[in-house]
């Protein structure tokens, strides 16, 4: 408490002491006060029964309730009934909003009611009571708690309809109030623990505050209010002392989940080890968690984890994906788009946006997810498409939640559109394409202020990305690209190098730029940050830059892998046969959509993230660029390929594994040992657990099994899935993992004398040098 608040507190104490020292001589004064309270009650009753407009009743009741709060300082036990009636009447009057659900009048009115409630809670008497109720006499304490609960009930009931704007989210007017509310709950929780109840009374002020925070954080745009108030840290602390099966714990899990949906909230939760706290609760106290609490934790951990961390726990990831798809199915069938537990359809969709940057997750949802009813591939795609069609319309312009659903769905469809086998299904829906075209031409600034997490692109960017992938409107744009100059003052005699990078990696990009400028006499540099000033669409400039570049440098990191925009840039360059030099830094991990296209390209890897780049690596990068430009100068630009022995192309990640495991690519398959076989499968990301299950002794055994697998792959999967589950308790063999093993056989070198031997027993055996079986 600061000095100002101490002064307010002293004044308030003096006022109460004056009331308590009243004598018989003050009886007339007390009667006057009683009459004043009676007057407040009568006027509220009159407003409640009035036919006046909601606006008129709102203004007058607001003033009366403020007078009621002022009166409490001199209230006695005899006033309890009247104060209760006043609070009830005020709550009913304030919630009598205009009936037109989409009217501008209702939108403005709900904002007024919500912020009036917060403003009344900020009155000095209320704020002082929340900060330290010990300074309030018992009779008045229960009155303050009563009127505060009424105000919180109003705000909680109406917050879902409040249309927040940019100035709201920037304001910090209510931070002190929220801090005081957090401290109230903290005291209540510790008091409950001290008397061994470990439970928060559902009817208490603490429960009202938790319910308010739960509903307020559901509006993701205002999560920074609660971050500044210290709520993320406090709610994690509360989980350490409350009973995990209690209502207070479920409210806390809901708050954490809502906070995690905002990047600032997720960062703050992780700052206080939120991810590990939640994972430990889920692992160690699973029997105490309700199904809803378990789901809330799973969704929160998905927001707090990196894509790589989610992929590392495959069994749990698949369970989450099943739950998310089921929630989406159930919510889509309801008029308010909320499933049975109250989750809005936007909640699972925002998690899908993050998970679908991983092609394995997308593949699982569309082909292997377990739901009721079980969806086909076409039905799953239709689920997302139909939701976009349902939500798109004029009413979405001023509705934050509708905008969030639309943005999430467009990002999901963008991820789907990168997959060649799903493109046709999207292109066949003319209504969908019309909607996407309209959004792609729209102005995001004209809609209600919308928060977009870093895992999502804006609606317009996502729409343009979909259209580009489907080749629906990109032809017109691409035809303009060669006709537009890149810059009017550049030296066209020099080769041009284009840099593709994730904006989260600006610091590393700055270092690379500094290093490249050492060779500015040999080439020009194109980077998007130099072309953001004009009104022309940035993607058009990027596409034009790639189109005229002699070479594209890709700064590869986990952020690059997770960016749909980066994927769009890389795909555009790759399809135009541009020479590409991958520059790795940090520990980017695996990336299936990228690795397969850069497997045989010369790369440079910066292994550390120090302030200065490794000088040797910088020289290697510059020499690689110069050599590539020399090779392509004056010739048609084809992808740069390194000379290799004639073996199937491996991803860069796989090449690293071959080198790191000592796999000898030149060794004849006839000479392969069991260890060579294990290393071969390892380079194709087949887990050792599956390889050990087969225990192949030679390449000949693998080829013989491959023929058997060709005959009945489904039965083979089921058979080995059972063996896998029996061998490795509490684990399961995923079908896509078995498919990875199956596909690795396609790339296996085959000994020619083995092929000849096999051909005598099967006239249909392929006669190539590769096992093309499936």
Question: pLDDT tens digit string along 50-80?
Answer: 888 777 788 888 888 999 999 988 888 888 8
Q: Mind listing the pLDDT tens digit for each residue in 139-176?
A: 688 888 999 999 999 999 999 888 888 788 788 899 99
119-133, 198-212, 510-524: range with lowest mean pLDDT: 198-212
Of 302, 324, 344, which residue sits at a domain end? 302
- Residue 533's pLDDT is what? 56
CB 596 within 8 A of CB 446: no
Q: Is residue 477 part of a domain?
A: no
Report the distance separating Cα 256 and Cα 482, nearest Å: 50
- Asked whether residue 685 falls in the same domain as residue 731, the answer is yes
Q: Mind listing the pLDDT tens digit for each residue in 697-744?
A: 888 888 888 888 877 887 888 888 878 877 776 567 777 788 888 888
Q: Which residue has the tokens 């989750």?
A: 343
CB 112 within 8 A of CB 61: no
Other beta carbons less than 10 A from residue 49's beta carbon: 10
Check whether 49 has a pLDDT greater than 60: yes
- Asked whether residue 459 falls in the same domain as residue 499, the answer is no
CATH number at residue 252: 1.25.10
- Backbone torsions φ then ψ of 553, nearest 5 degrees: -105, 125
Task: State the average pLDDT over residues 249-268.
Answer: 95
Q: Is residue 725 part of a domain?
A: yes
Higher pLDDT, 330 or 444: 330
Q: Mind listing the pLDDT tens digit for each residue in 380-429?
A: 999 999 999 999 877 667 677 888 999 999 999 999 999 888 988 999 99
CA distances to 127, 147, 426, 497 from 69, rounded to whole Å, are 12, 8, 59, 69
CB 252 within 8 A of CB 211: no
Q: Is residue 652 part of a domain?
A: no
- Asked whether residue 756 falls in the same domain as residue 612, the answer is no
Q: Which residue has the tokens 């596409």?
A: 543
Q: In the structure encoding, which two tokens stand for residue 384, read together? A: 């997302």
Q: Is residue 642 part of a domain?
A: no
Q: In the structure encoding, which two tokens stand for residue 23, read together? A: 């004598």
CB 69 within 8 A of CB 113: no
- Asked whether residue 153 falls in the same domain as residue 10, the answer is yes
The helix (run of H) or strand (run of E) holding residue 454 is: none
Task: State the average pLDDT over residues 628-649.
Answer: 51
Give the residue numbers spanning the domain of 127: 1-162
- Residue 695's pLDDT is what? 81
Report the distance separating Cα 122 and Cα 178, nearest Å: 10
CB 425 within 8 A of CB 381: yes
Q: In the structure encoding, which two tokens stand for residue 398, read together? A: 């001023």
DSSP code of 482?
G
- Residue 167's pLDDT is what? 82
Task: State the average pLDDT over residues 549-570.
Answer: 90
Decide: residue 498, CB within 10 A, 0-12 exposed, 13-18 middle, 19+ buried: buried
Pairing mode, if any, of strands 523-526 and 551-556? unpaired
CA distances to 178, 231, 406, 470, 506 from 192, rounded to whole Å, are 21, 19, 44, 59, 49
- Residue 116's pLDDT is what? 92
- Asked whether residue 280 falls in the same domain as residue 319, the answer is no
CB 589 within 8 A of CB 358: no
- Asked whether residue 178 falls in the same domain as residue 293, the answer is yes
Report the distance separating Cα 183 and Cα 299, nearest Å: 27
Q: Is residue 439 part of a domain?
A: yes
- Asked whether residue 69 falls in the same domain as residue 207, the answer is no
Q: In the structure encoding, which two tokens stand for residue 771, read together? A: 């096992």
Q: How confident is the model at residue 273 (pLDDT cuts 50, 70, 90)?
A: very high
Q: Is residue 483 part of a domain?
A: no
Phi-psi region of 471 (alpha: psi -120 to 50; beta: other; left: phi over 0): left
Q: Is residue 481 part of a domain?
A: no
Report helix, strand or coil for 707. Answer: helix
- Asked whether residue 333 falls in the same domain as residue 405, the answer is yes
- Asked whether residue 298 falls in the same domain as residue 310, the answer is no
- Asked whether residue 391 falls in the same domain as residue 318, the answer is yes
- Asked whether residue 352 falls in the same domain as residue 449, the answer is yes
Q: Return the axis-axis angle of helices 377-391 and 420-427, rounded to nearest 10°.
A: 50
Report helix, strand or coil for 583. Answer: strand
Report the distance separating Cα 549 and Cα 130, nearest Å: 63
Residue 520's contacts (CB-CB under 8 Å, 6 or more residues apart) are: none
Q: How confident is the model at residue 23 (pLDDT cuts 50, 70, 90)?
A: very low
- Residue 260's pLDDT is what? 96
Alpha carbon of residue 86 to chain centroid: 44
Report the distance separating Cα 409 and Cα 462, nearest Å: 9
Residue among 404, 365, 370 at smallest CA distance from 388 = 404
DSSP code of 347?
H
The helix (run of H) or strand (run of E) holding residue 556 is: strand 551-556
Give me the residues paired with residue 525 across strands: 497
For the chain, percent helix, then strand, then coil, each to nearest 5?
65, 5, 30
Q: Is residue 536 part of a domain?
A: yes
Q: How confident is the model at residue 254 (pLDDT cuts 50, 70, 90)?
A: very high
- Residue 369's pLDDT is what? 94
- Residue 708's pLDDT is what? 82
Task: State the average pLDDT over residues 286-297.
Answer: 90
Of 302, 335, 361, which residue sits at a domain end? 302
CATH number at residue 525: 3.40.50.10140
Task: State the average pLDDT over residues 186-214.
Answer: 75
Pairing mode, if any, of strands 523-526 and 580-585? unpaired
**Per-residue 3-state assignment (H helix, E strand, C coil) for 288-316:** HCCHHHHHHHHHHHHHHCCHHHHHHCHHH
Q: How many domains does the chain have?
A: 5
Q: Which residue has the tokens 């000479």?
A: 671
Q: In the structure encoding, which two tokens stand for residue 58, read together? A: 């709102």
- Asked whether residue 266 falls in the same domain as residue 317, the answer is no
Across the chain, mean pLDDT equals 79
Q: Mind listing the pLDDT tens digit for each residue in 645-684?
A: 333 334 444 444 434 445 666 777 777 888 888 888 888 7
- Residue 632's pLDDT is what? 74
Of 583, 617, 632, which residue sits at a domain end? 632
Higher pLDDT, 104 or 761: 104
Alpha carbon of residue 357 to chain centroid: 11
CB 250 within 8 A of CB 292: yes
CB 330 within 8 A of CB 339: yes
Report the distance separating Cα 331 and Cα 321, nearest Å: 15
Between the CA atoms of 169, 175, 177 and 178, what dihedral angle is there, to the nearest 10 degrees? 80
- Residue 269's pLDDT is what? 97
Q: In the structure encoding, which two tokens stand for residue 681, read together? A: 């499968």
């Amino acid at each position: 408490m600061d000095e100002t608040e101490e002064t307010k507190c002293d004044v308030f104490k003096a006022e109460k002491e004056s009331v308590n020292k009243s004598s018989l001589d003050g009886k007339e004064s007390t009667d006057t006060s009683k009459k004043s309270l009676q007057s407040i009650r009568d006027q509220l009753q009159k407003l409640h029964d009035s036919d006046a407009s909601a606006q008129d009743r709102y203004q007058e009741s607001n003033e009366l309730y403020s007078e009621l709060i002022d009166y409490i300082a001199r209230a006695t036990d005899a006033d309890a009934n009247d104060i209760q009636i006043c609070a009830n009447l005020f709550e009913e009057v304030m919630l009598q909003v205009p009936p037109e659900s989409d009217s501008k009048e209702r939108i403005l009115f709900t904002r007024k009611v919500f912020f009036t409630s917060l403003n009344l809670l900020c009155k000095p008497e209320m704020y002082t009571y929340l900060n330290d109720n010990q300074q309030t006499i018992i009779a008045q304490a229960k009155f303050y708690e009563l009127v505060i609960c009424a105000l919180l009930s109003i705000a909680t009931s109406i917050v879902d309809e409040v249309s927040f704007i940019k100035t709201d989210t920037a304001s910090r007017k209510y931070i002190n109030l929220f801090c005081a509310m957090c401290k109230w709950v903290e005291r209540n929780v510790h008091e409950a623990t001290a008397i061994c109840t470990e439970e928060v009374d559902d009817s208490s002020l603490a429960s009202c505050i938790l319910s308010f925070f739960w509903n307020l954080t559901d509006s993701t745009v205002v999560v920074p209010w609660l971050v500044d108030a210290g709520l993320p840290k406090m709610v994690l602390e509360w989980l350490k002392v409350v009973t995990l099966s209690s209502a207070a714990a479920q409210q806390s899990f809901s708050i954490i989940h809502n906070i995690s949906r905002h990047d600032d909230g997720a960062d703050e939760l992780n700052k206080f080890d939120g991810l590990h706290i939640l994972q430990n609760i889920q692992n160690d106290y699973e029997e105490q968690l309700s199904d809803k609490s378990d789901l809330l934790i799973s969704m929160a951990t998905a927001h707090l984890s990196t894509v790589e961390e989610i992929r590392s726990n495959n069994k749990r990831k698949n369970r989450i994906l099943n739950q998310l798809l089921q929630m989406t199915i159930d919510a889509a069938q309801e008029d308010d788009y909320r499933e049975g537990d109250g989750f809005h359809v936007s909640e699972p969709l925002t998690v899908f946006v993050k998970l679908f940057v991983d092609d394995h997750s997308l593949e699982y949802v569309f082909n292997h997810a377990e739901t009721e009813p079980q969806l086909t591939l076409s039905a799953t795609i239709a689920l997302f498409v139909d939701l976009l069609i349902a939500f798109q319309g004029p009413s979405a312009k001023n509705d934050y939640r509708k905008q969030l659903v639309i943005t999430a769905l467009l990002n999901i469809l963008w991820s789907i559109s990168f997959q060649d086998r799903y493109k046709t299904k999207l292109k066949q829906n003319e209504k969908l394409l019309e909607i996407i075209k309209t959004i792609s031409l729209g102005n995001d600034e004209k809609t209600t202020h919308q928060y977009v997490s870093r895992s999502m692109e804006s609606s317009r960017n996502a729409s343009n990305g979909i259209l580009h992938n489907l080749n629906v409107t990109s032809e017109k744009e691409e035809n303009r690209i060669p006709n537009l100059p890149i810059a009017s003052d550049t030296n066209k005699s020099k080769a041009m190098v284009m840099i593709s990078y994730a904006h989260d990696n600006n610091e590393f990009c700055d270092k690379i730029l500094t290093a490249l400028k050492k060779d500015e006499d040999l080439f020009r540099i194109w980077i998007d940050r130099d072309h953001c000033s004009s009104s022309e669409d940035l993607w058009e400039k990027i596409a034009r830059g790639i189109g005229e570049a002699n070479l594209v440098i890709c700064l590869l990191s986990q952020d690059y892998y997770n960016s749909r925009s980066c994927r769009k840039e890389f795909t555009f360059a790759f399809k135009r046969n541009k020479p590409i030099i991958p520059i790795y830094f940090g520990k980017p991990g695996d990336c299936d959509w990228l690795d397969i296209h850069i497997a045989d390209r010369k790369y440079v890897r910066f292994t550390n993230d120090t302030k200065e780049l490794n000088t040797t690596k910088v020289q290697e990068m510059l020499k690689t660029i110069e050599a590539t430009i020399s090779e392509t100068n004056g010739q048609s630009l084809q992808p740069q390929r390194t000379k290799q022995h004639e073996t199937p192309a491996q991803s860069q990640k796989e090449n690293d594994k071959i080198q790191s495991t000592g796999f000898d690519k030149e060794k004849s398959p006839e000479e392969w040992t069991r260890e060579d076989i294990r290393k071969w499968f390892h380079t194709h990301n087949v887990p050792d657990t599956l390889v050990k299950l087969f225990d192949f002794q030679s390449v000949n055994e693998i080829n013989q099994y491959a023929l058997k697998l060709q005959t009945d792959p489904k039965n083979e999967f089921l058979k080995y899935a059972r063996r896998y589950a029996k061998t490795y308790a509490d684990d399961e063999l995923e079908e896509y993992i078995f498919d990875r093993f199956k596909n690795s056989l396609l790339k296996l070198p085959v000994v020619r004398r083995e092929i000849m031997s096999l051909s005598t027993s099967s006239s249909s055996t392929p006669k190539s040098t590769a096992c093309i079986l499936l």
